[in-house]
Structure 1
């Protein structure tokens, strides 16, 4: 039973079963009434002459005489019935002569009410069944609706389902302040109407997945204390043309009855894409739904007191008519939180977890750049699960560090087995990344290096920026290219040209894409100049894909040449650094083979020739040869780790 369902409301399934049972019983009654007649309905009908012959033959033992028929009963209990011809006085004499018992039977009297009931009951049943079907049709698309395609699927949330306020939203102060005006309008509309001001009819929340767009919309409803309808953009579209438009109309009808209210449409790009793309009924249906939504938001009829809040992470594919003033005329960017925002978000989620005294939300926030609100919530949850598995009463800082490594680099895979040669190659590969990163001034500091398999990688070097970065400079890009080539160069220096493995496939892929972006998007090629040769594809080609603008064959060759030049420069830089510091490469690879995982400070100590102050010396993991084609993990989609995903085959 739902929270908002009345306690005495019967189950819809039981109610429907009772209705159908009543219909079946009524049909059986009608059939039995039409088939009534008792024993006579089982008698054999014969002619009157045959009936007299049976009396004469003495086969009948009893006769019942009525005005309209005569019934004869044989010795074996069988019955025959005949219709008399006129008034036959000789029949009685014949019965007496044969000494057959005979009785008279009064005609059956049928009341007027019974006649009316028999005649009217079939029509009453037909009307009742038709009424029942119509009620099912009018119930809409809910559980009880048989044909409710055109009804809205919007759900109204109440305080029983968890009230959310701005106190539960942290790390996005600018977006929260911009939406505070909507809350004030819903609380006191007359305050704005006195000066002729009109509140925006729609607010579009734009941000990456997991940044808290849905939570922010619920907080607005919780602060204003008004009904909150929620629906997904995909709930409007069906295979039948016109259904989505009908659902939009029905949704606004429900909203008008509960005004002032908030209607939240999540993932509006499912229905709000630019019109005129593609063919077929599916697009016709989506475009009709979008047209109806445009009219309802700002058409001839004003929907006062209804505020539409929508969320999407693809504002570039939305129809321009949807973003014009009068509709979604206010776009609120919900960004990935900075270090202060991450600290506040962590404090919100840590309230539900018993913490040890050594836990510092500021330190965790510094080590999680690029994390969204959902990522941070998952981090706190993973730490709590780790503490529970370790039978601890409090969640300590160690659990948060281990949870962060798990989220960013994947789970450890200590059950695998690998040969000593493969393990050694992995250690030198990761040491090559680390040495180049240490000697590149523009590179981010190393957070951790490991040769323990995590996720789909056999080892990786994780780098974290010292502060939040909002743009990348040319020197840092060249440093990243050099670091990405460090693993491949280390294999060549130590094992020779013929022993180079395919483990650098992920590094090469990253370096190639970075160099291509530098040339075609960011204008960082002196040969080609600040010209954009590639642009981000629209939503119809796929997320993250690129498409080239019109260019000549010579330009395309020049682009490929510049990409090769930039990558070769990074390769040469990495080779120079590792050749000049080969002793550091050997020392770091030896330390990785011994300890398997080193922090940034421990790597610095090894390079300086200092001893690592650690009491434990973990035993080497049993690692088996990985499957071919392992991919490089990107720590939850954030750039930084350069790993050796597969030293033997990629």
Structure 2
């Protein structure tokens, strides 16, 4: 037996099993349970006659996201800001006489109309005529693979609040798109960076962008930004792939090259390196170790593949020896070094376009796919990085 915590868990499970077994003599009772961590459930609970029917509920796919967005969009006023809405988001009011003490003089500011929310029943909120929420929903669903229904609701609510704060009569598509970044990446903040730091961030993000742009195995880059959001000083956004397809050896190498793009760009253009690549390097280290230890893609240990985070009676344990792990670490180091070298060679060849795209990013702060294509040209096809 384990410690006190384990003993308490056992007593809880035994009591739950006793309660479940006692329900067999009663009719019209259905017991439903939900978890986000099925691996931790005691196997006794999953035997026949207990929780034996399992239903996996994945994150909504494109069709489901479109329907969810359309459902929530029908609760707000959407459309072209130039259209005349049927329902106003704001309703002006003046300070009521009861708000002031008898005989008290009102200041000029207090006599001005104050904007307040007008509460309306759901049935009274109508979509602007001639604007299709379906088109909005399609566009938003394209940008949100892997999000939950709760996040979709939050995205729409954030957009409605932002529109209201800016005094808009409707919630336009650009604010809906902006709210996606607010929810998934973080809100813009006023943290100011020095010109030198801003320049470094721009070179860094363009390095990621170029490596993704030049690999046909990578998804399209749709946005680069050097406007701080959440904990990120800048970010490069690619179309997310929700297809359940296995990743190849070449794809994983291209992913390592994309992750190396920021660090290499800093070295080339700033002549030094910074802590800004910490997350990229940690992800590259994790990916290289997973590739070799979990996916059976190691030249050192061959086709061996180990389950990450194996557990035995609640305790994590390693299924490989320290000697094997040391060999894999050395191979992972070589793999990351190879990705770094390939990235360095590529960015040196693209130096002029890298500089041009960086200057454009510094002037506009955010670039979309059309901006990127205008500098880098159309994405090449059929060329993949050589792997070691």
Q: SS in structure 2 opposite 1:327?
A: coil
The number of aligned residues is 325
What CA distance in whole angstroms lies between the structure 1 residues aligned with 2:24 and 2:219? 57
Give the superposition deviation at 1:552: 4.8
Give the superposition deviation at 1:419: 2.3
**Are residues 1:551 and 2:321 paired?**
yes
| Structure-1 residue corresponding to 2:353 | 584
What CA distance in whole angstroms lies between the structure 2 residues aligned with 1:482 and 1:445? 15
Match of 1:459 among 215, 231, 234: 234
Match of 1:326 among 49, 73, 76: 49
What CA distance in whole angstroms lies between the structure 2 residues aligned with 1:473 and 1:377? 35
Task: Say if 1:327 and 1:466 are closer, same or farther in 2 by CA, change over 3 A.
Answer: closer
Match of 2:258 among 483, 489, 497: 483
| Structure-2 residue corresponding to 1:361 | 137
The 5 A counterparts of 1:399-438 are 399-413=175-189, 415-438=190-213
Paired residues of 2:310 and 2:318 also in contact (CA < 8 A): no
- C-alpha offsets along residues 497-540 of structure 1, whole Å, 9 cap, x if unaligned? xx221211111001001111111111122332222245225499
Give the superposition deviation at 1:491: 1.2
Match of 2:3 among 259, 268, 279: 279
The 5 A counterparts of 1:436-515 are 436-465=211-240, 468-496=243-271, 499-515=272-288
Higher CA-based Rg? 1
Match of 2:377 among 600, 604, 608: 608
How well do the aligned residues superpose, as a CA RMSD in angstroms?
A: 2.2
TM-score (norm 1): 0.48
Paired residues of 1:482 and 1:571 also in contact (CA < 8 A): yes
Paired residues of 2:23 and 2:29 also in contact (CA < 8 A): no
Give the superposition deviation at 1:333: 0.3
**Are residues 1:308 and 2:31 paired?**
yes
Q: SS in structure 2 opposite 1:500?
A: coil
Match of 2:150 among 374, 380, 395: 374
Paired residues of 1:520 and 1:532 also in contact (CA < 8 A): yes
Paired residues of 1:434 and 1:483 also in contact (CA < 8 A): yes
Give the superposition deviation at 1:484: 0.6
Task: Say if 1:285 and 1:608 are closer, same or farther in 2 by CA, change over 3 A.
Answer: closer
What CA distance in whole angstroms lies between the structure 1 residues aligned with 2:27 and 2:312? 33
Match of 1:564 among 333, 337, 350: 333
- C-alpha offsets along residues 18-45 of structure 1, whole Å, 9 cap, x if unaligned? xxxxxxxxxxxxxxxxxxxxxxxxxxxx
- C-alpha offsets along residues 536-576 of structure 1, whole Å, 9 cap, x if unaligned? 2549979xxx75214252x1221111211221121122112
Unpaired runs of at least 5, structure 1 = 1-275, 610-650
Paired residues of 1:426 and 1:458 also in contact (CA < 8 A): yes
Unpaired runs of at least 5, structure 2 = 80-130, 379-388
What CA distance in whole angstroms lies between the structure 2 residues aligned with 1:463 and 1:363? 15
What CA distance in whole angstroms lies between the structure 2 residues aligned with 1:540 and 1:405? 41
Paired residues of 2:158 and 2:179 also in contact (CA < 8 A): yes
| Structure-2 residue corresponding to 1:535 | 308
Q: Which has the higher contact order (CA 8 A, sep 6+)?
A: 2
Runs of 4+ in 1 over 6 A off after TM superposition: 539-542
The 5 A counterparts of 1:176-195 are none
Give the superposition deviation at 1:301: 5.8
**Are residues 1:346 and 2:122 paired?**
no
What CA distance in whole angstroms lies between the structure 1 residues aligned with 2:285 and 2:46? 37
The 5 A counterparts of 1:176-325 are 278-280=2-4, 282-299=5-22, 302-325=25-48
Q: SS in structure 1 opposite 2:201?
A: helix
Task: Say if 1:429 and 1:416 are closer, same or farther in 2 by CA, change over 3 A.
Answer: same
